[in-house]
A and B are shown apart, each in its own frame.
Chain A
């Protein structure tokens, strides 16, 4: 059962990503998930940043006037961050290998996979797409 839900909306601009990271950090430091370890917190921030970057670049094709709605929810033993957008939906990516071996990119997806416990890509019939990032609390 959800203990709290916080929302923030940003426009699809790279320059606004620090504000999105701050939103996640402030929530985690001030709300019910204080038990999030230092390492878990920066990993969650990084995963949110990378997911939002992918939305801006790939879902919105670098348009700067589109909405990204970020929701944070604490569900008992885990925190969930939903990044909602109304751009081109993502296909569920295949598991990505470490990028340093080929130098061909894909770093963002790799980082997201390494930083959170689970990622779900959802598409709704009304055009809303959601990337959900799950991170366990108090490991």
Chain B
């Protein structure tokens, strides 16, 4: 998965490509995100491109969250579209993750 990676201070922002984040690409995501999670402490996923995500994608995000938390890091999500926000609400993600409206909010919280 060719995601865009941007480092600002201690925060690494990953912009997920494509319009969907789902089962068909989750294996690629897991493989490519592993070194990023290994090398960084505070990671924010920019979801502005994503209009659909499924349970496999949610599981992959939960795994990233757990790994970062285990080493004292933080993980947040930013810029979710309306439907993605609704899916997060359905899954109870706002209780677990920091969900930011935009990058600035994320950088302010983690920077």
- Give the B-binding residues of A (Cβ under 8 A): 14-15, 17-18, 21, 39, 42-43, 45-46, 49-50, 53, 56, 98-101, 103, 105, 107-108, 110-111, 114-115
Are A17 and B23 within 8 A (Cβ)? yes
Report B52-76 CB contacts with A as 1/0, cut-off 8 Å. Answer: 1011101100100010000000000
Are A100 and B96 within 8 A (Cβ)? yes
Q: Which residues of A contact B24 (CB under 8 A)?
A: 14-15, 17
- CB-based A-B contact count at 8 angstroms: 59
Are A108 and B22 within 8 A (Cβ)? no
Question: What interface size band does chain B fall in?
Answer: 20 to 34
Q: Which residues of B contact A105 (CB under 8 A)?
A: 59
Q: CA separation between A111 and B22, bound complex, in Å?
A: 14
Are B55 and A108 within 8 A (Cβ)? yes
- Give the A-binding residues of B (Cβ under 8 A): 20, 22-24, 52, 54-56, 58-59, 62, 66, 83, 86-87, 90-93, 95-96
Q: Which residues of B contact A101 (CB under 8 A)?
A: 92
Sample of 13 further A-B pairs with CB below 8 A, known A14-B23, A53-B55, A100-B96 = A14-B22, A14-B24, A18-B20, A49-B54, A50-B55, A56-B23, A99-B58, A100-B93, A107-B58, A110-B91, A111-B54, A111-B87, A111-B90
